Each structure stands twice: as C-alpha cells, then as structure tokens.
Chain A
Amino acid sequence: MGEWALRATLFAPFLGVVVLLFVPNRHPLLVRAVAAVSAGIALLASLFLFLVYDADRGGFQFITRWVWSEELGIAFHIGVDGIGTPLVFASAILLFAGVFISWHIQDRTREFYIFLLILAAATIGVFMSLDLFFLYFFYEMSVLPMYVLLGIWGSHTKGYLSMTDPEGRKRRDDVGFILNFGANSKEYAAMKLTLFLSAGAVCALLGILLIYHFSPVKTFDILVLREVAAYDDTVATIIWLLVFFGFASIAPIWPLHSWSPVGHAAAPAATSMLHAGVLMKLGHFSIIRVAYEILPAATRELMPIAAVLCVFSIIYGGFVAYFAKDTKYVIGYSSSSHMGYVFLGMAALDYISLTGAVIYMFAHALATGMLFAMAGWVYDQTHTRDIPSLGGLVRNMPFVAGAFVIACMASVGMPGTVNFIAEIMIIVGSWERYPFQVVVAVLGIVLTMAYLFKMMRGLFYGRLSPDYAQARDMVRWVDRLPLLVMIGCSIFFGIFPMHFYHIVRSTVVPMVDRIHQLAPLVTQYPA
C-alpha cells in the first residue's frame, strides 16, 4: 500500500502532464481541473505516506526497485526515509497550493501547468531517489522547466527601461544583453538561474561519476554504495567538495546565491513558491543523501566549511533583505538567509540540530510559500512590487493582510508555528559546537523580524495610494484554499510536532551516529 502511495505521489503529476498534452487550450477550466486533480492525488498520497511511515522501524521504507540498466548498474530505486517523507509532503503541499495560486493565468494555461507539474514532480522524484543516477536525473529535470516558467510567465524586475539602448533599439536578444550582469529582465534572470544551476549540477555529476568509478561495486545504488564505499582521503575530499559545492549552489549558500533572488523576483508566484519552498531544499537534501550517506568520514572533516559559509548567508541575506525595496527581493533574500540556518543545523552534526534542520526545511517551505503567494497576489492587483509606493492595502484586502501577518510570524519563528520548533532545535543543537554561529543566528532572527515587519507595514498599513484603490481581496475559495492549507499545516505541526519529530529522528540518529563512528551502518534493506 505504501509503495503504491509513493509511486502515486511521483507519477500522478507526470500523468497529469500526459493528460494535459491532449487537452486543448480552448478549455482552460478543464486544464486547471486536470492539474488540480493530479496535484490533489499527489497531496493525498504523500499525506498518507507521512501518516503511515513507521518511525519505530526508521530507515528507508516503501521501496520500489526496478532494474533499469544492468550494463551501467542503474536501477529505478525509490523509497523515503525520515528526511524524504516530510520533504515529499512539503513538495506536494506546495504543488497543490501553486496550482490554485495560478488559477488566474490566461496566457497559454496548458503549457504553464505542464511545466509546473514537471517541475514539482521532478522535485518529488529527487526526494525519493535511492539511486544516484535518478537523483541527478530528477535534479536536472527540475531545473529546466524553471527557464520556461520564468521566461514566459515571469515579470521583469526593476530596470525594465534599460532594455532599450540610447537609440531606442531593443537589446533584449543580444548575447551581450543576456549575459550582462546587472540587467533586470526576466530573460536574464531565467538564463542566469539555468546556467548557474546547470553548472552546479555538472559539478555534482562529476562527483557522482567519481563515486561510481572509485567504488568497488559498479553501481549507482545509494544503499549499496553506502555500505561498500571506501575511498582514500584525497579522493573522498575531492568528491565531497564537488558534491557539496555542486548541490549547495541550488541551496543557495553564500557566495553561490546570486542567481536566487533574481530568479525569485522574476518568477510567477507559483514558481517562486516551488522554487523557494522546495527547489532550494534539493541542495540540502542531496548533500545529506550523497555526502552524509556515502562519505560520512569526509563529512565529519569538511562540514565546518558549511558552518563558516552559513554565517555569511545569514548576515548578508538578512541585510540585503532589509534594504531591498522590491517585495519579492525581500522574500528571496530572506530565503537565502534562512537557508543558512539549515546549513548551520547540518554542520553541527548533532541529533537535535540535524533534526531541526530537516524540520526547518519543511517549515520554511510553508512560510515562504505563503509569503510568495501573497506577494504574487499583491503584484497581480497593483502591478508593482515597489514597497515604498505601496501602502494601506489592509483596507482593500483584509484576508490577505491577515494571512500575511500569520506568514510573517511563521517566518520569524513565532511559537505556535512549526518554524519555532525547528529554529529552537537548530539553536539548541548547534550551541555546543558553534556558539558564535548561534549568536549570529539569533541576531538573524531579529533581523528577520525587522525586514518582514518593515515590509508588512509598507504593504498593508499607512496611507493607501489612490492608484491602488481598486485592488481586490482574495474572495473566491480557489484563491483562499491554498493559503488556508499552508497556514493550517504550519500551525498544526507547530502545536502537534511529535509525530513529525519521531519520523525525522528515526533517520537522523543512526546517520549522526555513523558520521561520528559511534555505530556501524544499520541496514534495513538487502543490497
């Protein structure tokens, strides 16, 4: 039963894509319905997985293994552990919410939903891959739809006018223009994002190929590799660095973050949600899956690199977010900053902090998803993201303003939301090993409050500009439903975190023990 739920979570969105290929654009409602149904199936199936995952047994569960190529040692091998389960769940929630958030899209609706479903399904695929080949397969597959989604349905960030040269010619198609670092077009953002992430991906691919080459068994199977892998120190260090920096570029760790805020800002709301909510977690997740599982010794030696870089992520992202004037830039940089917390939790290599890091990924997915959804709504209503020119919108959109306050509280880590539990665990767990970083992280929370409340005030309070007097609130149930789902999850798991905590802990404890060489690898699954 669990196996089927796992397969359904992965294949329902892909099936939706196939069905959509045969639905003409003339019937936008049918297109949306197909997308909503496939996302709904994925959500229910992933919820089922979350509920039935056996935390007492731990390890990888609901495993499906089909040999894919004997010659290359590749199998279609999927299953989830305590880290994959909540992230699959989060992806499904955000996909479901994203389908409804995008309900208003008129231009090429079918294509939009096709690319959105591919993006989300590929992300879900990464979270359940137990084969390095398929991990990379889904990882790279999730990057490409972003290009089209940003390019077609995205919006230009500030500086749109700089796209014509002094003589008034359009420069949008020049090679020089697209590669001009500092331009603000969506084309530039899309290209930068794709090339950055592809560069990171091939870096990681080199690491994966080295893992394959130097392992005694010629296989891409993670469960086999983590048992048989024994690399000498130099090789392990090189592989670890390739894998870490390859995957960390999507996470995005400072200084590899620069594609991310631009990409968030240019993306349509649903894409930003998926991008910040789950796509960025592919980085952390893949590092855990590849480096922690296969290279535990190198992880113990080299993870302090992440502890150093995360300080820059937290502080730099926080300050830029404080001074940014564009709503999506604020949320984008806040995401970059918050991803630093996850790196801190991972770097401390402690039961509590690593559990906190995983819960934080889930919590951040919900909080950021909400913020981007509402920033998208405000943009659709006012056609601007410039915070100083906005204000007083609370009178026009009380529901959005209320939800926004809750989302900000969640993002800050207010008790009662799941973010609080995650943050407190990261801070407590990391204190022993990295006290300085913990001080920075606490300051980062203060900074988060400052920029989020500043943005909240700028958008919803103060004087309402007459230009935006006709801005509407979310009144239809299709608009409100995604927010209610996300708020509900955030608060529910904030108040009842124990099941969640047990699931994550069942995987984290043996993993940390193994990294510290306290315990040998516990195998639940025959190779």
Chain B
Amino acid sequence: MTFQLPLSGSDLLLLAPEIFLTIWLCVVLAVDVTCRHMDHARLAYLSVGGVVATLLLLIGFEYAGVRGALLHDTFVLDGVAIFFKIFIVVATALVLLSSVDYVRSFRLFRGEYYVLIMMSALGMMFMASAQDLLSVFVTLEFSTFGFYVLVAYLRDDQKSGEAGLKFFILGVFAAGLLAYGISLVYGETGTLVFSEMTSMPGSYGLAIGFIMIVAALGFKIGVVPFHSWIPDTYQGAPTPVTAFLSIAPKGAAMAILIRMFYVALATFRPVWVLLFVAIAIVSMTYGNIVAIAQKNIKRLLAYSGIAQIGNVMIGLAAGTKRGSDAILFYLLTYLFANLGAFAVVIGVGNRIKSDEIEDYNGLNRRSPFLAAAMLLFLLSLAGVPPLAGFIGKLYIFVAAIEQELYLLLIVGLVNIVISMYYYLVVVKKMYINEPADPTPLSVSAPLQTAIFVGIAGTLLLGLYPAPFIDWAVAATLMFSNVAVPVAPGG
C-alpha cells in the first residue's frame, strides 16, 4: 500500500462543496469573533446563505453529472453520495432557520452554535462519501463531535446536561465498538475498502466484526435494540438540535449502511436480510407501541422516529435495488415531515416554554397556522394520502412484496394503524380540546419559512413524486446487480 495522497486540481473539484462549507464556517466564526455586537440573527442568515450556496453547488453537480473517486477510493462522489449530501444540506438549512428564535434564549456562545451545526453537517457530508471503513470511523466521529457539544448546549438545564452525558457515554461506547469491529474485519480481510471485500470468504471474525459495526451504526440511526439513548437525549437537547439529530445523522448513517451491505457484503445477502427483517419488525412495533404512552411531544417524536427508521429497515431487508430506491425516497419524505413537525414544536416551545402534549390543547384556536402545519406533518408521518409519507410507505411496501416478505409487510401495515392512534391523539388535542389559555401565538418569519418549506415538501412529494422517485432510482444505479427480484409465485 502506498502512502502518497495524489490530489490534482480536478480532484479538488469533487471536494468543492465540502471545501466551500469549511471556508464558510471559518468565515462565520471570524465574523462572530470580530463583530461582537452584531445581532446573532444575521449570523444565522449568513450561515443559511453558505449552506444554501453549498446546496446549489451540489444540485449543479447532480445536473452536470460530476462523479469520481479520490484518495484511493476512500472518498467517492457518486449518485448516492450526492443524494445524501443534498439531504443533509437541506436538513441543515431548515434547522438553522428554525434555530434563530431559539438561540436568543442562550446567554453565551450564540455564534458557536451555528458553527457547530455546520461542522456536524460537514462531517456528515463526508460520511455520505465514505467508501472504506477507516473513513467511516473518522467521518462518523467528526460529525458526532459537534453533536456532543450541541446536545448539552443548555448549560443551566439539568435535562440538557443529562442528555449530553447519556449521548456522550453511549456514543463513545459505540465508537469503541466501531473501532473494534473495523479491526476485526481488517484482520480477516486485509482491506478496508468496501469494493475490495466483495469476494471474501465468510468467517466468525468477519461476522462479529460486522455485527459490531452494525451496532455502532444502529446507535446512530436509533433502531431497536440500540435506541435507549434516543428518548432522553431528544427530550433534553435544545429542540433545534433534536430536530437535527433526528434526521441528518440517520441519512448519513443509512448511506454507509447501504454501501456496506450492498457492496461489501453482497454475497452474504441471505444472512443479513434476516437480520434486518428482525430489526425492522422490532423497531416498528416497539417504537409505535411505546409512543402511545408519551406525554411529551419530543419523546413522542423520538419514539415515532424509532418506528419510522424501522420502516426504512424494511427497504434494507428487501435488499434489492428497489429497496435502496425506496429507502432514499422514504428518507426524503421523512426529512420534510419530521423537520416540519419539530419546527412547529420549536415554534410552540418558544412561546409557551413547554413541550408537554397537554399544552397543545386548542392550538388550532391559538395559531391556526401552526396547528394546520402540525396536522399535515403528523398525517404524513402516519402515512395518509395525499401526503409524502404515504408514497414513501407504499414504495417501501412494494419493495418488500417483490421479495415476498409477507410477515414484514403485515407487521408494517398493522403498525400504520397503531401509529395512527397516537398521531391522532395529538390532532385531537390541537383541534378538539379547548385551550387553557387562548392567547394567540405568533410565529417568527424564519421559522415560518422553515415550516412552509416543510409543507411544500410534504405536499409536493405526495402529489407529484415522479421526479424524486426518478432521482432516487438514478442515484442508486450502481446497485442494479445487487439482487434479482424473486419471480412472482416463485
């Protein structure tokens, strides 16, 4: 193995979005340090501007068809990478927009907040391109580093401290597992690059190594049984951070999972399909049933997130090209509905200083806009047409039925009905119950923008999904030969 890192000018082009974002976050940091008396909201808009510019750059890459690999294939820019980078950048922009009001409540370190968010986003953008286990480890830790700080950002709030500590201890434990798993896999195969592992023989060391890696990534996406940190961390962390944590790392980690299983472990497909069937069933059922008992909206969304990611696992359990398309599309629908719901939670929380579902009583009378938006987002999460979530669920189910995973399909369908219940309970509080305090709630302009983007995404993906489906299909072209669908009746 050579230790030269060849980088030419055209190679740097592939890194342009990341380089741009790095420079931009240095600029934001510099502005924050030099202009101490500037309104922090301007800093937020500056950050959003940089993120949107990155987004435009990535969309340009997608249109121009820029593809390539760098540094001995450790960094790739392919369809999946660009898809997930756009996914992460959109999430970051929406989170930054919905943070503007929330950050006002911090007394210190307002500027650093935006920098840390962008830094985590940068780490996750690298994750989306990670093609070997070493870069998986480095980028994963890089992105999590920012979150460790962000989760504990409310210095005077005990819950936030608890959340930070819990997240940190379990996160470090997961990092340890990941490192140990990587060393086992390297010991068995002598390589770290996914594409070089395709034809390796099975062994116990390899199996244990990959199970540890799955556990570490399972921690990131929060599937059962690696979910225990999720509810407390989601509840304690500042709400915009929760929103970010609930979507962006899931996307980035899914990119790694898809790559790892579709490329490195393609030959062991019959084995890992069973693993993901089990994970999907347990996650969906556990998340949905426990969500029924929640009294706090952030905890409710946390458990609903566990169930949603269980739905995503159905796509992985299908283990086909169609499965990966469905995962990509599903995550896109989840992005808008989930971030939108959190934006409403932030909007309500900013005004009434509470996240208890009880305090959503009569929200429709206090702010028809917030209530209607929340209604749309929750129904999309529940999978009700004509909203995005329905198409996402249907797509995932189509992928599952092509592989004749009937048990998974039935569990998934039953879970739709279960989840309908707790989403409707929130709808009931907002629309049917009378408010204890009927004063109207106002929504600030940046938050309103974030919510409108969420609504637009939820409706657009529901009513006219064809371009997005085509995009997902094109992005995963490289997985075309992963598995041939079972013939009907076969």
Using CB atoms and an 8 Å cutoff, list the residues of chain A in contact with chain B.
67-72, 108, 111, 133, 136-138, 140-141, 144, 147-148, 151-152, 173, 175, 178, 187, 190-191, 194-195, 198-199, 202-203, 205-206, 209-210, 212-216, 232, 235
Contact = CB atoms under 8 A, between A and B. Distances in A.
Contact of B417 (A173, A175, A198): A198
Given A140-B390, A178-B425, A195 B417 contact: yes
A212 B401 contact: yes
Contact of B413 (A136, A137, A205): A205
List the 10 closest A-B pairs by CB distance, nearest first.
A151-B432, A202-B413, A137-B385, A213-B401, A69-B466, A141-B385, A209-B401, A199-B417, A198-B417, A71-B469
A111 B368 CA distance: 9
10 contacts: A71-B469, A137-B390, A140-B385, A141-B384, A144-B379, A202-B416, A206-B409, A214-B488, A214-B489, A215-B488
B410 interface: yes
Contact of B420 (A152, A195, A213, A214): A195
Given A140-B385, A202-B416, A206-B413, A152 B431 contact: yes
Contact of B384 (A140, A173, A190): A140
Interface string B394-412: 1101100110100001100
Interface string B326-359: 0000000000000000000000000000000010
B23 interface: no
B432 A187 contact: yes
B431 A151 contact: yes
Nearest to B371: A111
Given A68-B466, A71-B473, A187 B384 contact: no
Nearest to B469: A71
Contacts of B420: 194-195, 198
Interface of A is mostly: helix
Contacts of B401: 209-210, 212-213
A152 B432 contact: yes
Contacts of B417: 195, 198-199, 202
Given A72-B469, A111-B368, 16 more contacts: A68-B466, A72-B394, A137-B390, A138-B385, A140-B384, A141-B385, A147-B427, A151-B427, A151-B432, A187-B432, A190-B428, A194-B420, A195-B420, A202-B413, A212-B401, A213-B404
A232 B490 CA distance: 13
Interface string B412-456: 011011001100110111011100000000000000000000000
Contacts of B293: 175
B57 interface: no
Given A69-B466, A137-B390, A175-B292, A187 B428 contact: yes
B297 to A, nearest CB: 14
Contacts of A147: 424, 427
Nearest to A216: B488
Given A68-B466, A152-B431, A210-B401, A195 B413 contact: no
A494 B409 CA distance: 48
A213 B424 contact: no
Given A140-B385, A173-B433, A206-B409, A212 B427 contact: no
Contacts of A137: 385-386, 390
A236 B429 CA distance: 43
Contacts of B431: 148, 151-152
Nearest to A150: B432
A70 B489 CA distance: 23
Contacts of A194: 420, 424
Contacts of A111: 364, 368
A207 B385 CA distance: 18
B465 interface: yes
Contacts of B11: none
B428 A69 contact: no
B157 interface: no
B386 A72 contact: no
Interface string B470-486: 10010000000000000
